[in-house]
Chains A and B, each alone.
Chain A
Amino acid sequence: MANTCKCEGNCSSVVYQELDAFMADCPKGRDKLIPVLQKAQELFGYLPVEVQEYVAKALELPVSEVYGVVTFYHYFTMEPRGRHTINVCLGTACYVRGAKKIVDALSENLNIKMGGTTEDRRFSLTTQRCFGACGLAPVIMINDDVHGRVTPKKIAGILAQYE
């Protein structure tokens, strides 16, 4: 199968080769579709339609079925993720201490909506329910770093720490 990458240079044919190697051990059909998609997402960071078509061809499945599985599970994403993932806690404690304002400030600062990714792929913005750090509310996590007692004013400074 030709390794034609359509991802505008954001992935390499090496990644496709790695996916090929993973799929080499998989039977045709739907039995291993989910592990293959997990692997593909791990490799590409997300599952654009091109990758889904590639998987569908390799496993001899209709692309409609692959797309159905990708859109069924929240784990799979068709949007490219940023290098850094910002998680805003929307648990009760954070919420009452102004998490909503933090979300708005982040959205405004990064010019993206909740769930989105900046054009330069620097940040993705998502939410979670309670990190168990309620004493520090409101809390955000960027990658594995916890930032507590966040205020809208502090946002720019925090973001500046991540390239």
Chain B
Amino acid sequence: MAIKLKIDRQDVEVPEGTTVLDAAAEAGVHIPTLCHVPKVTSPGSCRVCLVEIEGARTLQPACVTPVTEGMIVRTHSKRARQGRQMSVELLLANHPWDCNACVRNGQCELQTLAQTMGITDVRFPYTREEVPVDTSTAAVVRDMNKCILCRRCVAVCQDVQGVGSLAPRARGFDTVIGAGAGENLCDAVCVQCGQCAAICPVGAIYEQDAIEDVWRALDDPEKHVVVQTAPAIRAALGECFGLEPGTCVTGKMVAALRRLGFAKVFDTNFTADLTIIEEGHELLTRLKTALVDKGEVSLPMFTSCSPGWINFMEYFYPGLLPNLSSCKSPQQMFGALAKTYYAEKEGIDPKNIVVVSVMPCTAKKFEADREEMVDSGFKDVDYVLTTRELGRMIQEAGIDFMKLPDEEQDSPMGMSTGAADIFANTGGVMEAALRTVYEVVTGRELPMEKLHVAPIQGLDGLKEVALTFEKCQPDWSFLEGVTAKVAVAHGLSNARKVCDMVADGEGGYHFVEVMCCPGGCIGGGGQPRMTTDEVRQSRIKAIYTEDEGRTMRKSHENPAVTQIYAEFLGEPLGHKSHELLHTHYHAKEPV
């Protein structure tokens, strides 16, 4: 049913159940908010969206007040303006004033709000007791002195990711957002996805900064510093320089990295292609064991690219760890190969090679520190920067990003296909795998328009598709007539649904792709803020466009991948692959 109301003297008609906030947006009126994030949370706690509603005794929070027939709303009457100013002023009274030294300076929602509201003075003294800053994890820093208690992080951790590491504790002035039941995040069940950092409106949660480490390596003449960039960076880095979400900046990104001083600008896409070869063969081997040898094998196989997802499995579903592909993530495959294959090829002592990753992800920082990740004989990946950190480095170096020419990655570890591009988004790893697996098995190209697997595209939390193999190649004749059922989940609360199904023996899936963050890596915890569904869709579109623009769109077509098997690895799942490209997982005690 349509509801008619007046907002700032304008007639508005919206469906029943619409909030005053959304109705105002329809009428072109932006009401500020701090706690409200569309589709994630609307706790009505920050009181920044107060509006005057005729007949109501007090000002009402627009984000949680539904419209009613004939309602008369004033969003910028004197009373509404003063009410909102007071809310912000009270928040500021409880917030440190060292904006200049804050990582969010210039990108802080509270700072912006204070400025927009014309607040130049705060009448209330700052009385907050200082608490220690939590730097206990590799992924994020939590500075609860700056927290405004909006609870966005709690909502994203509990509801979107279903992890529940964060929750408010104590009450009144003593209220603080705590981790687990202890002091530090490292003692809590945290998958390190960084969604809390990506959604925080202020400088209370942010990534562990590796910029200084990277500068130090670049400044060291002894070091040969190479960089890899994850597929999702190119679709988001431009946002750090004011470009619209969904602007692909691959060429400028490469140019910027070269100007920062990296000896070689490589691409995680290269090892994404390699992952498809290894993981595809692993899947086919598992299927063969199940169908032909009738042996014990764990199916469905889960993808293993996303370190937050790996943490989630290790904490919550240790019984399903055998279902995880043993393939390392593309980041870690890259590190292991850079310090072996590349070092050998170029005659560089691997101890002098420094591998820097640029990732859309904070859990990648944790992953690089995992004790298993030293198969090259060294720490495979030395430093991980998020997209946001790379943006800051480029700015710090004074590089005029918009004026950069488009440049190309270096050979051989910079060469990749469109299949690697789409690792960036939900459904992409599965689509890339199907492009190769179907062609390996049948000798024919995946019979889908533009090679896209439409049912597993898009932002639905849980997607599935079935694919029947017909007229198989002789080696794969055991798959003749077999219908492979695959599923794709993104966001850990959706992953939990798949895990529960698999644990209960339901679903009948053969292969499941899981990405920890909503939308996949393009929506990672290290991406430029704010990642809304519209932003996710724009970035995904940019990635598909990048993929479609390539001449090579299947991982097995990558000549650098063929070359590395010929020169170094031997064969997929071979001895050297197992040594360098595969790993194992451990159950973690949920504390």
Contacts and interface: CB of A to CB of B under 8 A. Distances in A.
Interface in B536-591: 590-591
A64 B170 contact: no
B182 A49 contact: yes
Nearest to A68: B167
Contact of A62 (B164, B169, B170): B164
Contacts, number: 50
A24 B346 CA distance: 65
Interface stretch (B173-181, B286-294, B399-407, B525-533): B173-181
- Chain B contact residues: helix, strand, loop or mixed: loop
A67 to B, nearest CB: 4
Contacts of A62: 158, 163-165, 167, 180, 189
A65 interface: yes
B437 interface: no
Contacts of A67: 167, 169, 178, 180-181
- Chain A contact residues: helix, strand, loop or mixed: helix
11 contacts: A53-B591, A57-B590, A61-B164, A62-B189, A64-B164, A64-B166, A64-B180, A65-B158, A67-B178, A71-B169, A71-B170
Nearest to A63: B181
B170 A49 contact: no
Given A62-B189, A64-B166, A53 B181 contact: yes
Nearest to A49: B181
Contacts of A71: 169-171, 178
Contacts of A49: 181-182
A66 interface: yes
A121 B245 CA distance: 62
B169 A52 contact: no
A64 to B, nearest CB: 4
B168 interface: yes
- Max count, chain B CB within 10 A of own CB: residue among A57, A62, A65: A62
A133 B126 CA distance: 41
Nearest to A74: B171
B244 to A, nearest CB: 37
B535 interface: no
Contacts of B180: 62-64, 67
A75 interface: no
Interface of A: 49, 52-53, 57, 61-68, 71-72
Contacts of A57: 590
A155 to B, nearest CB: 32
B188 interface: yes
A52 B182 CA distance: 11
Given A61-B164, A68-B168, A71-B171, 5 more contacts: A49-B182, A63-B188, A64-B169, A64-B188, A67-B167
B517 to A, nearest CB: 19
A128 B189 CA distance: 39
- Max count, chain A CB within 10 A of own CB: residue among B158, B169, B189: B169
Interface in B121-172: 158, 163-171
B137 to A, nearest CB: 15
B493 to A, nearest CB: 13
A64 B591 contact: no
Nearest to A62: B164
Nearest to B179: A64
Given A62-B158, A62-B165, A63-B591, A72 B182 contact: no
Contacts of B168: 68, 72
Contacts of B163: 62
Nearest to B182: A49
The 6 closest A-B pairs by CB, nearest first: A62-B164, A64-B167, A67-B181, A68-B167, A71-B169, A71-B170
B312 to A, nearest CB: 13
A53 B182 CA distance: 11
Nearest to B190: A64
A81 B529 CA distance: 48
Contacts of A63: 180-181, 188-189, 591
A63 B165 CA distance: 8
Contacts of B167: 62, 64-65, 67-68
B171 A65 contact: no
B552 to A, nearest CB: 45
A68 B170 CA distance: 6
- Max count, chain B CB within 10 A of own CB: residue among A53, A68, A72: A68
A91 B180 CA distance: 38
A65 B164 contact: yes
A72 B165 contact: no
Interface in B170-210: 170-171, 178-182, 188-189
Contacts of B591: 53, 63
B182 A68 contact: no
Contacts of B164: 61-62, 64-65
A71 B168 CA distance: 9
- Max count, chain B CB within 10 A of own CB: residue among A49, A65, A66: A65
B181 A72 contact: no
A67 B178 CA distance: 9
B158 A72 contact: no
A63 B189 CA distance: 9
B181 A66 contact: yes
A72 B189 contact: no
A66 B163 CA distance: 14
Contacts of B181: 49, 52-53, 63-64, 66-67
A64 B169 CA distance: 8
Contacts of B158: 62, 65
Contacts of A64: 164-167, 169, 178-181, 188
Contacts of B189: 62-63
A60 to B, nearest CB: 10
Nearest to A73: B171
B190 to A, nearest CB: 10
Contacts of B188: 63-64
